[in-house]
Amino acid sequence: LGYLRIVASDSILLRDMEEERVAAASGEAAMNTEATATGTDRALRIRPAEHHDHTEGPKIENAASAATAPPSKRRKKHKHRDFDLDRYHERHVALRIAYLGMAYHGFASQGPDDEGSTVEAVLLRALQKACLIKDRTSSAYSRCGRTDKGVSAFGQVISINLRTHLTAEAGAGEVGFIRKESALESEVQRKLTETPKPEIDYVHLTNRLLPDDIKVTAWSPVPVEFDARFSASSRSYKYFFLREDNDIERMRAAAKLFIGEHDFRNFCKMDIAGGVTNYRRKILSISIEPADPVTDPDPQFGMYCIEVCGHAFVWHQIRCMAAVLFMVGRGDEDPEIVTALLDVEKHPCKPQYGMASDLPLVLYDCKFPNLVWRHGAVSLARISSVLHTHWRQSALTGAVVKSMLRGLREAEIPSTQPGAAPDSTEQWTGELAYERRRHIPLLERATSDTLEVKLETRRLKEAAKAAALEARPVAAEDINPT
């Protein structure tokens, strides 16, 4: 019954939208039909009596027979009319987004020319197609975080103004209601007042226009001053990894040293171009636990998860933290390397090291005070079905490869036992040949410039650019004759 109610509500919404688009063209189409009939009748009356129609079908010889002729099968063309959002009030809402980022160049849109390479561009385009927003600039849009290329999310949050079915009277006491003067006298509002409609199912309507790897999971009305970026109380990331040859206890000892407020300039990529000069962030908690309650005891296949919770993070912070933790887990660095790199007075320059992969990173949750998410049973069932399809395909592929790895352990290899016969064999131990490069201690590596040097370098570049523009000769077409 819940499914039927949602489908019926959505069908009524789409029907009303279509009626509004063609309403204006109906009168014009009727007038054109009447004019066409009048012209046809006049032509038939002046047709010579001896004229014969040589086409197939009944012959039309006078106006009386024309009235009984079958209507034309030619499709009538209605004048397209854009959906007028100014006839509706708005509501400030928060949307919770889940997406698999493997096929996208990050979450944040790359500008007006972005045709779908980012999650944000695809999401905003779907909201426009659903006639929920006019464009991004006029919808008070804000995002909680921006994930990099290949990174996924389960709890990304945006805040935005969307079209609402609430009238001025009904929305007066509702959270997030935005009264629009242009909608007060519209015919749409009169109909909504006479026959109130339930609030738009933002989750269901938007998901119909989104691909399977991007879905809205919930929504919530929020106060007008709510901002998805600045209103968040915490953000949580999960980073998945195989245990392999990592010492989990050593990694846990190093991870605890991140807790608290520190300067993370040695655990990130400095965003000087973006104007970021403060790299102090607070880590609320960090843990390293099995990804599943019952994990594979075989270290080759045991899946673990690093979960980090903090108020905010700097660029690439989680991937840099994970990279150093893996060095500790492999025994290449001591856990105390974390304390050393957090001491920017003693180590102001970041050692050069590679970040961990983007694939296993997930923005898992964004928390906001006093925010209650609204879910729909039908929408959750559909999203679960889509995610289960993704998981099933990946799990089956993993099971096939895993069986091959286990099968290799049954192989017989020449015996390595002292005094063994030349043709004797033994079972392979199954040890993996991990690719290990010679490790150079982090504190002995080449370093990048300090934050102060980078800021000064940028200042000099901007000054040189401004001087070059001032010294540029004025072109003749740039001179205003008046």
pLDDT in tens, 385-397: 999 999 999 999 9
Q: Which amino acid is at 329?
A: G
The average pLDDT across 190-207 equals 93
> In a 10 Å sphere around its CB, with 0-12 CB exposed, 13-18 middle and 19+ buried, how is residue 152 labelled?
buried
Q: What is the pLDDT of residues 69-80, one digit of tens each?
A: 555 556 666 565
The average pLDDT across 362-391 equals 95
Segment (H or E) for 408: helix 377-408
pLDDT band at 271 (very low <50, low <70, confident <90, very high): confident
- Alpha helices, DSSP H only, in 46-93? 63-67
Buried-exposed string 319-351: b where 16+ CB fall within 10 A, e elsewhere:
bbbbbbbbbbbbebbebebbeebbebeebbbbb
306 close to 252: Cβ distance less than 8 angstroms: no
- Residue 151 DSSP SS3: coil
- Residues carrying an active site annotation: 148
| pLDDT > 90? residue 288 | yes
DSSP state of 381: H
The C-alpha atoms of residue 232 and residue 311 are separated, in whole angstroms, by 8
Residue 301: CB atoms within 10 A of its CB come to 15
Q: What is the pLDDT of residues 109-140, one digit of tens each?
A: 988 888 789 999 999 999 999 999 999 999 99
The C-alpha atoms of residue 9 and residue 16 are separated, in whole angstroms, by 11
The C-alpha atoms of residue 349 and residue 357 are separated, in whole angstroms, by 23
* pTM: predicted TM-score of the whole model, two decimal places: 0.78
| pLDDT > 80? residue 254 | yes
Query: What local confidence, expressed as pLDDT, does residue 38 receive?
Result: 43
